[in-house]
Amino acid sequence: MDNINIKKLAKELNISTSTISRAFNGNTDINKDTKERILAYAQQHNYLPNHYASNLRDKKTNTLAVIVPEIANDFFSQAINGIEEVARKKGFYILLYRTDDVFEKEVSFVNYLNNGKADGIIMSVSGEANDHNYLRQLEKKHVPVVFFDRVYEDIEAAKVTTNDYDSSFAATEHLIKSGCKKVAYLVVNKSISIGKVRMQGYMDALAKHKVTFDDNLVIDCSNDEKVNYKILKKALQEIKPDGIFSSVERLAFATYYVCNDIGISIPNDLKVISFSSLRVAPLLSPPLSTITQPAYEMGVKAATLLFDVLENNSTAPKKEHVLKSKLFIRKSSSGE
């Protein structure tokens, strides 16, 4: 009874395996009574078709791989929700992988996916550049990829991003208009796609308002919270900016902690605005001004694009789809 399978079932029911298979796969012609009899008996005996056998035959896994830098983060968890929502409707499941922003992990997982573990991949990349051949292999295996938020420009694939440049420009301009003379830019890796684009918006806004760009005001942080705390403390004490535009949510939090500790008042001494999907941003002290990306919608869009490829088997629209972020001006940057 332990290892029931289609053959045993066939024998017990005195029927062929093909008929049983048909009972479970809807479409083909099969007598209604036979089908019901099979399904009833199967349920009783706790039989279900084995996924791995089916997959081996069909080369369909009904699984989507989702690769993100981190999970415990409002942006990514909301995006995953969006992906899951779409996947679920299609009867697909999510294989989740976190890279911790470590390039090697990304490579290793993508390689792992290279042979029939998932039908498609949705990813937000770790960012380190250089050799993206591991992604090109996927194409050969016909495993479609959709990027979201953090993308590799040199890989041809559908991409879902937001208007980062515009938002960054607007955020920086907002700080300048609020009276900031010395706006710092917080970033984790200024040389990769997102950090770069956002920085460009920052620089162009400065230029528009005839503020000279100062390299010292670009504060490049790490992935280690403690290190960031030190970096920011030092920067705030020594460089003394009066405005902060943070390209990463957790750097804004770190800024808050530092300010609390060394007695800098937000927004009086320092105005802060940050990219963030934190849902309780309005409840912070002071409420944090944010550029909020449509995380959930991005997930939905990415998944939808992936299914377009999967279902139409077409090479699909490998363009970049740009959704719009929203600027929420709150007390941290405006004083009201």
The footprint of a second copy (CB under 8 A) covers: 1-2, 46, 48-53, 55-56, 61, 63, 71-74, 77-78, 80-81, 84, 93-98, 111-112, 114-117, 137, 140-141, 253, 256-257, 260, 278-280, 282-287
Q: Report if residue 6 touches DNA, rule: CB under 7 A.
A: yes
Could you tell me if 121 and 98 are in contact, meaning their C-beta atoms sit under 8 angstroms apart?
no
For 187-218, the DSSP string reads ES-TTSHHHHHHHHHHHHHHHHTTPPP-GGGE
Kindly tell me which residue out of 12, 43, 53, 335 binds DNA, with binding defined by CB under 7 A.
Answer: 53
Pairing outcome for strands 289-292 and 271-275:
parallel
As a whole number of angstroms, the distance between CA 176 and CA 173 comes to 5
Q: How far is the CB of 235 from DNA (least distance, A)?
A: 52
Q: Report if residue 2 touches DNA, rule: CB under 7 A.
A: no
Choose from DNA, a second copy, none: what does 34 bind? Cβ within 5-8 Å by kind.
Answer: DNA
Q: Report the half-sphere exposure of 213 (CA within 13 A, side-chain side).
A: 15
Choose from DNA, a second copy, none: what does 203 bind? Cβ within 5-8 Å by kind.
Answer: none
Q: Could you tell me which stretch among 26-34, 197-205, 242-250, 292-300 binds DNA (CB under 7 A)?
A: 26-34
Task: Name residue, tokens 């099969």.
Answer: 30
Structural tokens at position 233: 């403390």
Could you tell me if 142 and 154 are in contact, meaning their C-beta atoms sit under 8 angstroms apart?
no
Helix ranges (H only) for 113-192 are 133-140, 164-177
Choose from a second copy, DNA, none: what does 238 bind? Cβ within 5-8 Å by kind.
Answer: none
Strand partners, 218: 185
Of 256 and 307, nearer to a second copy (C-beta) is 256
Q: Report if residue 93 touches DNA, rule: CB under 7 A.
A: no
Choose from a second copy, DNA, none: what does 7 bind? Cβ within 5-8 Å by kind.
Answer: DNA
Among 252, 215, 206, 212, residue whose Cα is nearest residue 232 = 252
Of 115 and 212, nearer to a second copy (C-beta) is 115
Residues that bind DNA (CB under 7 A): 3, 5-7, 15-22, 24-25, 28-32, 34-35, 47-50, 53-54, 56-59, 115
